[in-house]
Structure 1
Amino acid sequence: MSDPTSPPIDLPAQPSYTLWQLVAYMLGLGTWGFGGPVALVGYMYRDLVEKRRWFTEADYKEGMAIAQLMPGPLAAQLAIYLGYAHYRLTGATLVGLAFVLPSFVMVVALGTAYVSFGGIGWMQAVFYGVGAAVIGIIAMSAYKLTTKNIGKDKLLWAIFAVSLAVTVITQSEVIWLFLGAGVLVWFWRVPPAWLKRGSVNGVAAPLVAMFALDTVDTAKLAKIGAYFAYAGSFVFGSGLAIVPFLYSGVVKEYGWLTDRQFVDAVAVAMITPGPVVITTGFIGYLVAGFWGAVVAAVATFLPCYLLTVLPAPYFKKYGKRPAIVAFVDGVTAAAIGAIAGAVIVIGQRSITDWVTAVLALVTALVLWRFKKVTEPVIVVSAALIGLVVHPLMVHSGA
């Protein structure tokens, strides 16, 4: 056991992988990882916990709990936490950069093409196929997370169901539901002494720190930096939650983009791999060119980086305590319920006719039956199907 005066982290003597192996994995995931945050966290679980065994179930649960409790993009925060778990700040920084950089380069390239050629109409056809396939990918990720983490615990299943329903009804993820689920399981399994005594002395409620960034010097870049730092600091959950928030700001409040441009920006985020929130880089490019993209992306991701690494040592030091384990189990159940709910919400937008419904169903069946078929192969196939079928459906009036 570590001494209370030692640094607030309990590290294994020798991780079973090198930092550069993890960086290389995250660079690859950021390059080919389609499907948005739900699919990405599923890939990390499958590859890093189940297959390679670089991380334990506890490591993954702790990362998911922090990612759900802290504001910012879910998948990026989980990646940053896993980088921190064994290699601390250096690991968190390199892993975070490796995960985000590929999709940032892609959206800047697409932004250049968008501005040069006046739009991206061809993306509608691609997204027609890819969006449907993504639903199948996300559904399988949600299924695996549910069966692995919920088990037969009736309380966790109840939390899962409530979280799923709230996500579907509100079409967003509710931070107080995650916190409440954690506290409920904690009090149910390991009632605090003050609760048994009927006293409230010594109550410690978890606090969510907020961080805002505004360090750029020109007027327009300063406004972009401030707004996207605010978005990264105050929006909880995945790209599903941040999209309506961004719409109200960049279209309604500031008038930086038209409705059509904003829809195209979301399409870019969905058909490129990596975190969905990288759409902020594309928006920044349309508003102020390359440096607008840099400022928007940095301002969005820096708060989530800090709000992951700052609480991480305390999760590692105190995370094995029964009360913390119960709290994390409750948060995890609520998070997985929200992920399952997101499948339904996103599906309502992506499945628009019988072709997309079949694509989503076939994707899920292929991933379930044929373990060696990889997601990039499915995404490329779906994109090609979309390019061929979408024009036919439009012309037929379907």
Structure 2
Amino acid sequence: MAISSFQDMTRVFGRIGLLSFGGPAGQVALMHKELVEDRDWISEDQFLRALNFCHLLPGPEAQQLAAYIGWRLHGLKGGLVAGMLFVLPGALVIWGLSVLYVHAAGLHWFVALFIGIKAAVLALVVQALLRIGRRALNTPFKLGLAVLSFIALFVFDLPFPVVVLGAGALGMIVAACAPDWLRLKAAQSDAPLPPSAPLLASTVKTILLWCAVWVLPLALVWLTLGRHHVLADIGAFFSQLAVVTFGGAYAVLAYMAQEAVQSYHWLQPGEMADGLGLAETTPGPLIMVTQFVGFLGAYRDPAPFAPLVAGTLGALLTTWVTFAPCFLWIFAFAPWIERLEHARRLQGGLAALTAAVVGVIANLALWFALHVLFRRVALLRSGPFHLQLPDPDSLDLLALCLAVVAFVLLFRTKLGVLGTLAVCGASAVAAQLVLP
């Protein structure tokens, strides 16, 4: 393998951060080309083993893969630089778009633009559902787990963390008792593993250090503004979200939307789709949509700051507590990566959790469809049941037509994310100019 200088690594990851469009699949493919094929800085086996390891962790797997490879190439400073360069370009763009969003929200053309973006996002979520479902649901048990997860969320309104973590625990049990139900691969290496004691001590020290880094800004908010300030709520909520973000942004979006809209009242229902549309158009992890939510939450409850200052602080705090845990997982557990292929129960938990994520994304797709295509959605509660039912008379024909266009562009013409968003947004603006 070739040896990289720190300057070369910084330059390459800077370019990756600027070009990392297309979600995790495109981002992983870009890193594979740049780091494995073009420069041979890491071997194919090491890359795939690292990717499997990152799939086990909560948070955006592509960003964590970048941090891991940086750590492997140049230690702690390499991991920090690679991981941060993967995030910073998208974070700056999302902040700028969030500022534009709150200042242009009253303009008719801007409202129309986001009708088109929401329609495109609906098609993107369905595409993600089908793509992940084809890969993850390869046994009847996994299919049943996905269906049960969907029912638990949409019909019974069970908390998202309970559903995904419960699925993971069930998968660990099934891996021990009936591994064929999960179609787990056998370990490919019988080589002896390094001793655990030194690794364990190092891991404990790293966890304690990064936990302190993680909670430091939140502690400052509590001390200066109080535990009931909106920034304290933002920091606590997104810290919790960072621990349960398995399966990518799509998997947690419905839970995040439910809490941000119904519990904290930071956003209106349709604004979550707006934020996802913005995140789809920027480089970096799709989970950057959290920054949009944090910006709006603080912008609309700014005291004692000016709205723009409060929104910026909310965006910064959200980004910090979303990505600081990613570095914690990588720096604490990367030295254990050689043990991954031997961790049978852990692989079982991940397989079951991934299957449950398909049901979670199906719940998200239906939630989006209801709030994008209908102007009024009623909440029906009856005993343990919790259903959202649309008012048929409130069907938005423009949104429906644009959603059909988005599905055709994505599934038939294979236009891609940015092209689909652009066409649907431009079509919505044109329709607003022509139609009353």
Report the alpha carbon displacement of residue 248 of structure 1 after superposing the two structures with TM.
5.3
Output aligned runs, 1:11-26, within 5 Å.
20-26=11-17
- Counterpart Cα distance in 1 of 2:35 and 2:426: 32
Unpaired segments ≥5 residues, structure 1: 1-11, 34-39, 68-73, 193-207, 252-256
Cα offset, 1:132, TM superposition: 1.0
What corresponds to 2:422 in structure 1? 380
Q: Distance in 2 between matches of 1:220 and 1:387?
A: 43
Shift of 1:104: 1.4
The amino acid of 2:233's aligned partner reads Y
Residue among 403, 419, 423 paired with 1:360: 403
Aligned to 1:281: 295
Give matches, 1:298-377, under 5 Å: 298-312=316-330, 313-314=332-333, 316-321=337-342, 322-352=344-374, 353-371=396-414, 373-377=415-419
Aligned to 1:103: 94
Q: Which has the higher contact order (CA 8 A, sep 6+)?
A: 1
* Cα-to-partner distance string for 1:249-286 (whole Å, 9 max, x where unaligned): 654xxxxx7x8xx5686465244235322222234344
Q: 1:341 & 1:50 partners in 2: Cα distance?
A: 34
Deviation at 1:228, TM superposition (A): 1.3
Structure 1 Cα separation of the partners of residues 140 and 235 of structure 2: 39
Q: Measure the CA separation in 2 of the matches of 1:365 and 1:239.
A: 24
Give the match for residue 189 of structure 1: 175
Work out whether residues 261 and 269 of structure 2, in 8 Å CA contact, stay in contact via their aligned partners in 1. no
1:355 Cα deviation from its structure 2 partner: 3.9
Q: Is the CA contact 2:172–2:348 (under 8 Å) kept in the aligned structure 1?
A: yes
- TM-score normalised by structure 2 residue count: 0.65
The reply on whether 1:150 has 2:137 as its aligned counterpart is yes
Matched residues in 2 for 1:330 and 1:50: separation? 30
Q: Cα offset for 1:127?
A: 1.8
* CA deviation after TM superposition for structure 1 residue 93, in Å: 2.5
Q: Report the Cα offset of residue 86 of structure 1.
A: 1.0
Partner of 1:78: 61
Distance 2:425 2:84 in 1: 33
- 1:1-398 matches, within 5 Å, as 20-29=11-20, 40-41=23-24, 43-44=26-27, 59-67=50-58, 77-88=60-71, 89-90=79-80, 91-111=82-102, 113-114=103-104, 119-151=106-138, 153-169=139-155, 174-191=160-177, 212=215, 213-216=218-221, 219=225, 223-235=229-241, 236-237=244-245, 238-247=252-261, 251=265, 262=268, 266=272, 268-273=274-279, 275-279=288-292, 280-286=294-300, 287=302, 288=305, 289-312=307-330, 313-314=332-333, 316-321=337-342, 322-352=344-374, 353-371=396-414, 373-390=415-432, 395=436
- AA paired with 2:298? G
Q: Distance in 2 between matches of 1:13 and 1:172?
A: 50
User: Size of the alignment, in residue pairs?
Assistant: 337
What is the letter of the counterpart of residue 336 of structure 1? Answer: V
Tell me how far apart the structure 2 counterparts of residues 163 and 60 of structure 1 sit (CA, whole Å).
25
1:138 Cα offset (Å): 1.7
Greater displacement, 47-56 / 327-336? 47-56
Distance in structure 1 (CA, Å) of the matches to 2:412 and 2:273: 29
Q: For the residues of structure 1 that align with 2:433 and 2:148, how far apart are their CA atoms?
A: 40
Structure 2 distance, partners of 1:166, 1:57, is 33
Separation of aligned partners in 2, 1:80 and 1:224: 28
Confirm or deny: 8 A CA contact 2:230 2:297 kept in the other structure. Answer: no
Contact 1:226 1:299 in 2 (8 A): no
Question: CA separation of 1:363/1:65 partners in 2, compared to 1, >3 Å: closer, same or farther?
Answer: farther
Quick one: distance in 2 between partners of 1:60 and 1:339? 21
Decide whether aligned partners of structure 1 residues 347 and 247 sit closer, same or farther in structure 2, where only a CA change above 3 A counts: closer
Q: CA deviation at 1:99?
A: 3.4
More moved, 170-179 vs 180-189: 170-179
Which amino acid is the alignment partner of residue 237 of structure 2? A
Instruction: Tell me, in whole angstroms, the C-alpha distance in 1 between the residues paired with 2:34 and 2:420.
Output: 20
Q: Kindly tell me: are residues 369 and 265 of structure 1, through their superposed partners in 2, closer, same or farther at Cα, counting changes over 3 Å?
A: closer
* CA RMSD of superposed structures (Å): 3.8
C-alpha distance in structure 2 between counterparts of 1:240 and 1:172, whole Å: 12
Per-residue CA shift, 1:36-76, capped at 9, x if unaligned? xxxx4455467667999888666445434422xxxxxx5xx
After superposition, the C-alpha distances for 1:122-175 in whole angstroms (9 at most, x for unaligned) are 332112221111111221122112112332x22211112222233333568621
The whole-number CA distance in structure 2 between the counterparts of 1:167 and 1:302 is 29
Taking structure 1 as reference, are residues 347 and 299 closer, same or farther at Cα in structure 2, changes over 3 Å only?
Answer: same
Task: Report if the CA contact (8 A) 1:79-1:99 is conserved.
Answer: no
The runs of at least 4 consecutive aligned structure 1 residues that moved more than 6 Å come to 12-15, 49-55
* Separation (CA, whole Å) in 2 of partners of 1:231 and 1:343: 23
Distance 1:161 1:51, change over 3 A: farther
